[in-house]
Chain A
């Protein structure tokens, strides 16, 4: 069974640009969550999608957005990049966002904004 796949692995962007990150969950998983990981703030929740609907949203500015497709693949977009957006972005999938199933994480996308 394939794991959670995040692409690309690394990305370098210039301040002011926009970026799109992709996450393919485990087959059969309908919930996809996104987290931002930085040395200073740790792991912070961005949003969760379930069956193409945003179910939860973290405390991030509107520049951060996401969506989920009918095949459960998810994308997150960051517009007007700032230096502080440099981080590891992790995606996690679960069957239903269920607590008891736990979450399976991908290897992340390392975004560097210069």
Chain B
């Protein structure tokens, strides 16, 4: 079964600085998708960024970018110029074929003013 591991339960970053959240996954599939979701106190899961496994180029969405290392099965999220509104739980997720999303346990990010 596929698993997703986030080894950092909590992280903190100074406002305007850069932070990287780690994620590793285990799969025997060659074609799959990886996602980072943000869950603020409002509880709604918001898609931050997605990566298709067959694309070697790392995905980027404004201040958010990923470092996708397929061979190492690593998918880290980099947040640049951190803002107070970035404070939230961040979940790494995986799916392939028509299987449901598998989530990691999450990383709680605090942003210090």
A88's partner among B35, B43, B91, B97 (CB-CB below 8 A) is B43
- From 50 to 105 in chain A, residues with beta carbon under 8 angstroms from any chain B beta carbon are 55-56, 58, 88, 90, 92, 97, 99-100, 102-105
Task: Please count the residue pairs between chain A and chain B whose beta carbons lie under 8 angstroms apart in the complex.
Answer: 51
B33 within 8 A of A: yes
Give the secondary structure class of B's interface: loop
> Given A42-B106, A55-B98, are A102 and B44 also a contact pair (CB < 8 Å)?
no
Q: Other than the known A90-B43, A104-B47, A105-B44, what 18 A-B pairs have Cβ atoms closer than 8 Å?
A: A33-B101, A35-B103, A42-B103, A42-B104, A42-B106, A43-B91, A56-B99, A56-B100, A58-B100, A90-B45, A92-B45, A92-B101, A99-B33, A100-B50, A100-B52, A107-B42, A108-B43, A110-B43
Interface residues of A (CB under 8 A from B): 33, 35, 42-43, 45, 48, 55-56, 58, 88, 90, 92, 97, 99-100, 102-108, 110
